[in-house]
């Protein structure tokens, strides 16, 4: 069943007809905003988890140093 659906989709996209369409400037602006927003969200996520990871390992190192004394 899955193979039939996949095969049908491949055939559908290979036998497509040229469309007389265009992307207006507003669409390009929206795509640019989405890209910038995604990069900002990824940067914020990395920053948050980087601090948590750094804090976790600094606790492990401090505990190990305290145990050696």
Mean per-residue pLDDT of the chain? 84
Share of the chain above pLDDT 70, in %: 86
Q: What is the three-class DSSP state of 53?
A: helix
What's the confidence (pLDDT) of residue 63? 64
pLDDT at 51 over 80: yes
Nearest alpha-carbon partner for 27 in 17, 35, 39: 35
Angle at 63 between CA 61 and CA 68, to 5 degrees: 95
Instruction: Report residue 64: phi and psi, to 5°.
Output: -65, -40
* Residue 35 token pair: 């890209």
């Amino acid at each position: 069943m899955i193979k039939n659906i996949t095969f049908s989709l491949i055939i559908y996209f290979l036998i497509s007809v040229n469309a007389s369409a265009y992307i207006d400037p507003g669409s390009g602006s929206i795509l640019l905003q989405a890209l910038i927003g995604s990069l900002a969200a990824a940067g914020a996520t990395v920053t948050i988890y980087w601090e948590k990871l750094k804090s976790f390992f600094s606790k492990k190192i401090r505990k190990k140093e305290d145990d050696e004394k």
